[in-house]
Structure 1
Amino acid sequence: MTETTAEDQLRGQVRAALHTAGLSQAEVARQLGVSTKHLNMMLTGAATLTLTWAEGILGLAGHAIEITVRPDTQEQAA
């Protein structure tokens, strides 16, 4: 079984938000001043997707990031 990282989950949420908003990667890249290739690399995991970049991308799609910190339930069960 493959474990999904927080970064993978964020990437998936960003891609879904772009899809829902009907935004192309080319349009988002143009508005953010980054190459389409680099944006694609961030969204596929070939380059790091920082919270700052994710926030900018999601803002164009009408979304915001909300971070919740909670105890790790796996650590408590051990």
Structure 2
Amino acid sequence: MTQPTPADNLRVIVRTALHDKHISQAEAARQLGLSAKHMSHMLTGKAPLTLDWAEQILALCGKRLTIRAVAARQPRRMAKEART
């Protein structure tokens, strides 16, 4: 079983926001000037969901997209070498 990618997680967040606000994909597409087909493709992974589009879709739902950078975990070997 494969781990979901960050892009997969973003699609889930956007689809959930639309669902929670009772906004159909077709309605969101209409409001954003997209075809319903392209909206569907972005939300299923057949087309890229850019951060710009995700931000615009989430704004329709009254949400804001924020991105946070966090320190990466070092593999144990690298961490041990850094201490010596």
TM-score where L is the length of structure 2: 0.86
- What SS is found at the alignment partner of 1:62? coil
1:18-57 superposed Cα distances (whole Å, 9 cap, x missing partner): 0000000111000000000000000000000000000110
Q: Distance in 2 between matches of 1:46 and 1:22?
A: 23
Corresponding residue number in structure 2 for 1:55 = 55
Percent identity reads: 53
How far, CA to CA, are the matches of 1:44 and 1:64 in structure 2?
A: 21
Question: What 5-or-longer segments of structure 2 have no aligned partner?
Answer: 77-84
Structure 1: gaps (5+ residues): none
Distance across 2 between alignment mates of 1:57 and 1:11: 11
SS, match of residue 26 in structure 2: helix
Indicate the residue corresponding to 2:75 in structure 1.
Answer: 77
For residue 27 of structure 2, what is the aligned residue in structure 1? 27
Determine the structure 1 residue equivalent to 2:81: none
Larger radius of gyration: 2
- Number of residue pairs the alignment of both structures matches: 76
- Partners of 2:34 and 2:48 in 1: CA distance: 14
- Give the Cα–Cα distance (whole angstroms) in 2 for the partners of residues 40 and 3 of structure 1: 22
